[in-house]
Amino acid sequence: MKELELLKGQIKKIDDKEFDLEAWKILTINILERIFGKQSSKIEQIKELKYDYSSWAMRETSGTHDSVEKRAKVILESAILEIEQFGLPDKNEQPTDIIAEVLKDELKGSDYKRITAILSEEKGEDEKSKLLFDLLNDIDTETKNQIIFRLMRQI
């Protein structure tokens, strides 16, 4: 599987004598985005990797090269293990998950429950559309704008 080979190749690069963390992060993030989607927590973990050159960190060794490189390997090893155990993520589900998350965060609980109830009902599409349209009319403009804004940030 080419995705596994790419991730294993990124792990090998960590041990290179000329390892450049920032360049490595760019390529690794691009690979992870293609495999897991832009919202993957693995991407956030990679973005957070950085060397801390402060004297305190050097004494504690928490910011040394070895610990950053070790964390980088663990992140990619967990991604490899996830793919091996569960297969590649279904990219078709991700937009739906993002939309559901935004709606849960921005709507009142009762409005979110109404939406899920309407969508799960065994009614015709025209009737569902009318019910959803009516529900949208009841939501205040600020909430609608916040939902649209958050969804646009996901693109």
For residue 59, the model assigns a pLDDT of 46
CB distance 34 to 6 below 8 Å: no
- How many domains are there within the chain? 2
Residue 148: domain span = 94-153
For residue 113, the model assigns a pLDDT of 93
Same domain as 98, residue 72: no
| pTM of structure | 0.56
In this prediction, the residues of the chain whose per-residue pLDDT falls under 50 are 55, 57-59, 61-63
For residue 92, the model assigns a pLDDT of 53
Same domain as 74, residue 16: yes
Gap between the Cα atoms of 13 and 15, Å rounded: 5
Same domain as 100, residue 82: no
For residue 71, the model assigns a pLDDT of 96
Helix 2-14 with 21-36: angle, nearest 10 deg: 160
Give residue 94's Cα distance to chain centre: 9
